[in-house]
Chain A
Amino acid sequence: MIFNTLWSILLRIHTVSVRGRLIRPWLGDPVTALPILAFVVSWQFFGESIIFYTAGIDAIDEEILEAARIDGAGFFGEIWHIILPSILPIVGIVTVLIFVGDFTQFDIVYAMSTSMGNPGYSTDIFGSLFYRTAFSSPERGGWGMGMGATVATMMFVFVFFGVSLFLLFFNKKRAKLS
């Protein structure tokens, strides 16, 4: 979750130094650029999520696990029937945090493919669109603060509905489990 720029530059050097020899230059191909971006962005939340989950699993009462084991629950059974239900709220929180974070993601797109979302807008996401419309000059795709505010409002609508759906989904799951 620390080294956004590092990744982007590593990929860039990779493009030049091993070009045509080892693997394809992932970041430049319009088809693969977005999945690669998604990978790097997800990387950013890896550490944070692990912290949340570790804490949640740690907090599970040891006795419940003991009891389950005595009843003959296997490794996966344990995960499925005891650990997963008890950390479900955390899954919900982490999902929502990542969703919100990704939806406003800007830094990594900017570092990897500029605010234009190169190549050819294939990595253009809401964060870069918002920055470009609101804060860039017209020669670089700026439309002024008014249009920027419009983009931000649209983003808010999406985030709001997205989060509501997630919360609804996790509440239902939780209700079903308990």
Chain B
Amino acid sequence: MKKTLGILLILTLAAGALFAGGSSGAEEGKAKLVFTSWRTEDIERMNRINKVFMDANPDIIVDFQPIKDTEYDAQLKSSLETGVAADIVFLRSYDSGRQIWDTGKLLPLDDVVPALADFPPAARGAWSTDDGTMYAVPSVGVTHGIYYQKDIFDKYDLVAPETWDEFIAVCETLKDNGEMVFAQGTKEGWPLYEVIFSGLGANFYGGEQARQDLMAGNVKLTDPQFVKAFEKMNELQPFFPKDYQAIDYVSMQQLFGTGQAAMFIGGSWEIGIFEDLGSGEDAIGWFAPPVENAGDQLSYCFHVDAGIGLNKDSKNMDAAKRYIAWTAGPEYAQLLMDELPGFFGYTPGDYAISNSLANDMIAAANGADVTVRTVWEKLSAQSPSGNILMWEALIDMYNGVKTPAQPAPHAHTALDTWYKP
């Protein structure tokens, strides 16, 4: 008993000492900044980027500590509210980021980072309040399109299609020859909505204008143009692999990255993932979402993805301000685009993009009608959010539970309960 008590006492004391001195590797006299994001797979790359900053600013340590993206927003919000958040935080665009700003724990950045004034308006709009106060440095945007395995396309003399009919013809050819056409699965809802419907569907529902009208209440999701988009997207279903209901996102990447499937409807953020799986820029190609008729203007979902915000309660405010100003500069933008091909910076200036896939993606934006994900802005601010409704609707449509005419009313009815333009 005495011994037990003694051991307990020692343990408790030891633990106190451990936790007190627990902050890992904080060196004397250096300001430590914690940088958090939802990109858990980028730890090594971000460390290399931050090292450049730390070499130039030896008095600052930047520690990159990402959190799994499904938990990120909720965790960030509560940790800001309780005062235990990181110093530098990634913010999603529009309402998701806006909810974080609404906690009142972010620093307005207009004075801290004067360079923000020169950022493109579309990027500024994603992280500013109604009166135009900026609360994040627009950091990266991502695009959506279709990857393909070059050698499979070569085998059947196929070329990257431009119109939807050509696209379907390519799919037919591949299917007739017994290839796995798409590495797509429907186990998770978000790739269906974010990548397939927003990325490929935009050409059919009318792109940016339709999205604006939807927010303004001029059109509804049940209007013919959106229903048509759902119908067109459903045309891809016969080309999904066997047991596609069971394939989750990670498995999708594996199927395409290891060369088993001919095509993958994906986002620009996957370039690095496919490279790691053995499908580098030499092995795979990319083409933009096919338009309806030859010569149509491309509606291109170039989604504003991440901004960088500053925690008002940061203990090393001076260092944090210096760091965030650096992230708004050209050096950071260039480093980012080198380390993370497929993530496109918004910092004004000319940058060399070395990756050919990333180059194709940025080239496609030329002359295109640039838009973002369909129900991302405003329509996902409350529950049931547009996001969730689209996930549900699209899973049901692809799994044959709903006909292509049904998803639109499903989302519209629920959205109508709270969204008043």
Direct touch of chains A and B (CB < 8 A): yes
Q: Which residues of A are in contact with B by a Cβ distance under 8 Å? A: 12, 15-16, 19-20, 24-30, 114-116, 118-121, 135-144
Interface string of B55-68 (1 = CB under 8 A from A): 00000000000000
B384 proximity list for chain A (CB < 8 A): 141
Known: A24-B243, A118-B248. A30 touches B399 (CB 8 A): yes
Instruction: Say whether B396 contacts A120, CB under 8 Å.
Output: yes
Which residue, of A114, A118, A135, A141, has the highest number of chain B Cβ atoms within 10 A?
Answer: A118
B76 to chain A, nearest CB (A): 9
Known: A16-B254, A116-B189, A118-B187. A140 touches B73 (CB 8 A): yes
B143 proximity list for chain A (CB < 8 A): none
Q: Which residue of B lies closest to A9 (CB)?
A: B250
Q: Which label, helix, strand, loop or mixed, suits the secondary structure of the A interface?
A: loop
B245 adjacent to chain A (CB < 8 Å): yes
A133 to chain B, nearest CB (A): 8
- Complex: A25 Cα to B252 Cα, angstroms: 14
Q: Which residue of B lies closest to A119 (CB)?
A: B187
Which residue, of B96, B189, B383, has the highest number of chain A Cβ atoms within 10 A?
Answer: B383
Instruction: Say whether A139 contacts B385, CB under 8 Å.
Output: yes
A24 proximity list for chain B (CB < 8 A): 243, 246
Give the contacting residue for B245; candidates A119, A121, A137; CB below 8 A: A119
Instruction: Say whether B243 contacts A139, CB under 8 Å.
Output: no
Known: A12-B248, A116-B189, A139-B388. A25 touches B382 (CB 8 A): no
Give the contacting residue for A141; candidates B77, B245, B383; CB below 8 A: B383
Instruction: Say whether B251 contacts A120, CB under 8 Å.
Output: no
A143 proximity list for chain B (CB < 8 A): 383
A149 to chain B, nearest CB (A): 15
B222 adjacent to chain A (CB < 8 Å): no
B417 adjacent to chain A (CB < 8 Å): no
Give the contacting residue for A119; candidates B250, B382, B395; CB below 8 A: B395
- Complex: A12 Cα to B251 Cα, angstroms: 8
Instruction: Say whether A142 contacts B74, CB under 8 Å.
Output: yes
- Complex: A121 Cα to B395 Cα, angstroms: 10
A108 to chain B, nearest CB (A): 16
B255 adjacent to chain A (CB < 8 Å): yes
Q: Which residue of A lies closest to B92 (CB)?
A: A139
Number of interface residues of B (CB under 8 A): 36
Give the contacting residue for B96; candidates A15, A20, A139; CB below 8 A: A139
Interface string of B234-245 (1 = CB under 8 A from A): 000000011101
B163 adjacent to chain A (CB < 8 Å): no
- Complex: A29 Cα to B399 Cα, angstroms: 10
- Complex: A54 Cα to B64 Cα, angstroms: 49
B12 proximity list for chain A (CB < 8 A): none
Which residue, of A15, A25, A138, A141, has the highest number of chain B Cβ atoms within 10 A?
Answer: A138
A37 to chain B, nearest CB (A): 14
Known: A16-B254, A28-B187, A28-B247. A138 touches B382 (CB 8 A): yes
- Complex: A157 Cα to B77 Cα, angstroms: 30
B185 proximity list for chain A (CB < 8 A): 28
Give the contacting residue for A15; candidates B70, B246, B396; CB below 8 A: B246
B99 adjacent to chain A (CB < 8 Å): yes
15 A-B pairs (CB sep. < 8 Å): A12-B250, A16-B251, A25-B243, A30-B245, A114-B70, A116-B188, A119-B246, A120-B392, A137-B73, A137-B99, A138-B382, A138-B385, A139-B73, A140-B74, A141-B385
Instruction: Say whether B385 contacts A119, CB under 8 Å.
Output: no
A139 proximity list for chain B (CB < 8 A): 73, 96, 380, 385, 387-388
Instruction: Say whether B187 contacts A16, CB under 8 Å.
Output: no
- Complex: A152 Cα to B236 Cα, angstroms: 41
Given contacts A24-B243, A28-B247, A140-B73, 9 further A-B contacts (CB under 8 A): A12-B248, A26-B246, A29-B243, A30-B245, A115-B70, A119-B399, A138-B99, A141-B383, A143-B383
- Complex: A30 Cα to B392 Cα, angstroms: 13
Q: Which residue of B lies closest to A141 (CB)?
A: B388
A75 to chain B, nearest CB (A): 43
A116 to chain B, nearest CB (A): 7
- Complex: A82 Cα to B255 Cα, angstroms: 56
* 8 tightest A-B CB contacts, nearest first: A28-B246, A25-B246, A137-B73, A119-B187, A120-B395, A139-B387, A138-B385, A143-B383
